[in-house]
Amino acid sequence: MSDDLAAYLDSIDGRLVAYLDVDRDISSGALRHVQSYAVALIQGLVVPEHVHEDWPDFFHLVDAFVLAYGSSRLGHLARMSSLFEGGGDDPLTDGDRVFLVTLLAELHELLSQRDAR
């Protein structure tokens, strides 16, 4: 999956490849950064528009995570979420929240596996 992930990120924007580690996986640091933004969104500390302004790569990295590491359920929730539609200042929908909570659980699981190595 690593080469596919690198090609996917490069096709969106070549600078996104900088988020990959030496194994061509999304780096743990980048995933932790995604985690912190996802938590802030769920808690209502930021709205998608603020995330787009502050760190627009968040949305590309979430997409990449879903494609490379996410469960089929997470993929389904991502397709149903309106989170990626324009990044406005509208409040999150229930579907957005379910997606983000599931994303956080899967991020936590992957990071725990990496930390155990």
The per-residue pLDDT for 29 is 97
Amino acid identity of 12?
I
Q: What is the DSSP string of 45-84?
A: SS-HHHHHHH-THHHHHHHHHHHHT--HHHHHHHHH-STT
Domain ranges of the chain: 27-116
Match 């933004």 to its residue by tokens.
37
The model's pLDDT over 18-54, given as tens digits with 9 standing for 90+, comes to 999 998 899 999 999 999 999 999 999 999 999 999 9
The per-residue pLDDT for 89 is 67
Local confidence band at 117 (pLDDT 50, 70, 90 cut-offs)? confident
Q: What is the pTM of this model?
A: 0.89
